[in-house]
Structure 1
Amino acid sequence: MAGATTPHTRLQSIDALRGLAMVLMLLDHLRETWLVLVPMPDPVDPRTVLPAMAVARFVASFCAPVFVALTGVAACLFGVGHTPRETASFLVRRGLLLMAIDLLYLSPLYWGVAPQPTFWLQVIWCLGLCMILLAGAIRLPRGARIALGLVLVCGHNLLDPIRLQPGDALFPAWALLHQRDVIALPFGFVAKTTYPILPWMGVMLLGHAIGPWFGRDVDPVVRRRRLVGLGVGMIAAFLVLRAFNLYGDAPWSVVDGSALRTVIGFVSMTKYPPSLLFLLPTLGGGALLLALFERRGQSRAIRALAVFGGAPMFFYLLHLTVLRLLYHGALAWWGPTHGTVFMVGDYGWVLAWYGALILPLYLPTAWFSRLKQRRRDIAWLRFF
């Protein structure tokens, strides 16, 4: 068939998009590391934010939606060669592992920086919990999964007015589901629900629902046409809803005297939890990139990105560990620069570190990615 691609090429395009999300995520985490006291409200304030930081924040906004959606796609592809029971078992085991990593490894990396020991229930926790819930949903008919995903993604903003307070009976559950908040725990610990799961569960369900598009029997031309149509449709829906402030996020407005800051305000949407208007352009852009990456699958850039995406959990743990070591090394060497923390004074340093770290992080990730491909007999490598 003309233009046909092998399953390897198709998976490479998925790995490349996942790898791009990893590479962009590094920039945002560098900002958190070196500009720890510079506030980044959600959504960003277009009147006060440094434009370079706003651009970097917008670019990094693609990371979580793309990664969660591709997790759903990957779960569907895993299920092709396994029974529903085997697939559900894998999702539950992987989900529990991810949640444990977030609680027992990633959160302690930030202790000593946060004012009190905090369990940051971030994207890895969210992924793990959503995978466990997906394990219970994979037996639903595909139409039911699509309908449930659309309800969660498109309708969850109707729940925004519901705000519970600490002490309310359902506050912890609601903070985990939809309300970004802080839950008090015993012994002085707290848990911060950075990624409430309702909309993210919808994203994973929809990613799982389009998994059949990547089947061996699907013409790649048809698949790319579907991805382009999906991406263009989502971005068009965003432009209409956002332009007229119809639904899906806090309204935007013109910033007097600055076209740039007006544009920043237009594309600054709520991420915690992700509004409908946050998800439309990020997922739509991800669909367009996936079509592009599949078409350009043999280019050097795509192959390099696929290395990062071929071992995403390894890269995630590696880069956060390296950033914490660099931060505490700088704090020990130069001492605190602002109160009790170390912080650089210029965003240019963040960009400099970004350029300096790409290759050192690429090399061990490439090694681990090759190890995964070479040692398929080692079951636990699949989890990373």
Structure 2
Amino acid sequence: MPTNIADVPKNLLSDFDLVADPEMMRNPQQRMTDALVNDERNIFYTPHNGGHWIVTNYEMGHEILSNPDLFGSFPIGVPANYEQRPRLIPLESDPQSHPRYRRLLLPVFAPNIISKMEDKIRKRTINVLDEALQSPEIDFLWDIAKPIPTGVFLEMLGLPQHMQPQFFEWENGFYRAETVEARVDYGQKIAQYLSQAAEDHVTNPRDDVMSMLLEVEVEGERLSRDEVDAICYLLFLAGVDTVAAMLTFIANYLAQNQDLYQKIKADKEFLEKATDELLRMHAFINLNRICEADTEFHGVQFKQGDNIVVPSFVTDRDATTFPDPHNFNPERSKVERTMHHAFGDGPHKCIGMHLAKLEIKIVLEEFAKRVNAFSISDESKIKAHGGTTMGMDNLPITWTA
């Protein structure tokens, strides 16, 4: 049985709500800093969202994320549920089947393959920027950060670009609709559309990832249609939401740190070094694992079925691992620069991280070529959200050419 709040020592209790805390709707990074980074405890328990533990220490988070036998990855989420979607492959696969699926997808997202996509990504970025920057005031999230990575994802999967607005609505509803019933409905719409798209790919094969998944053999067997649908579902959620969230947090930070933005403008090599530090500082995924057996973890009793959340923004601000963690420092050691949790950790570390980093670098580089300076036009209009993937819902900026 999972932990009952009555059994949690008082010194390990917290009232923090990762999803519905009012300040998460305004400034999630500041709220996470105040409530979690500045909490001296490494582990504590909150009754919200089904009840879950929060681990804020980097090394403890690494230990949990690197042990899939004791800390499983199904179901993913805060709260942890799977009612509104299929089991996500390979993210929620068990330790025995996970390597099989990961070997299948690694060639698609390998660094040498992703590097060949640079020209296409840059062309798409230029087209989106040239259209967006017709106005002196824009919404960075909706005019730039959403369309670019989503367009790349749709091309990879062989889905129509004109569906972007519909996909944005479904993705937002899936994560943030007010009721469970509404979230389930949005999840079913995504699943139904992707299943129909796969069926069309069976009839009309093309040179894209969805056709590859339908045709490839893994250990002498083809993937079932359910497996293909589950993989495409995970790619959908990642392709429509994650890079856009990261880009918007970074743009918000640079808008308030224009000296740093000028360095990025002036030196392409500086941007190369700066990218991982920007990723570390603006990690946004609240990673979670499910305890597979009663165990004592660093003096705390976890029960089988407990949801354990490792907030990447918080572990990446752990001063015992990253000295002076709140300050931007691109001169950190190579190991320190790349050990952040922005893409997770352990065997389930994000398989699309090389694509995400390339997209972020290209967008920042091309944006800097066109924009001399920019600032937030009205901070009072900014809205945000918490949850499994925290993010900004808009970012109104003004800019000068």
TM-score range, shorter chain: under 0.3
Q: Which structure dedicates a bigger proportion of its chain to strand?
A: 2
Q: Which structure dedicates a bigger proportion of its chain to helix?
A: 1
TM-score normalised by the chain length of structure 2: 0.25
TM-score normalised by the chain length of structure 1: 0.26
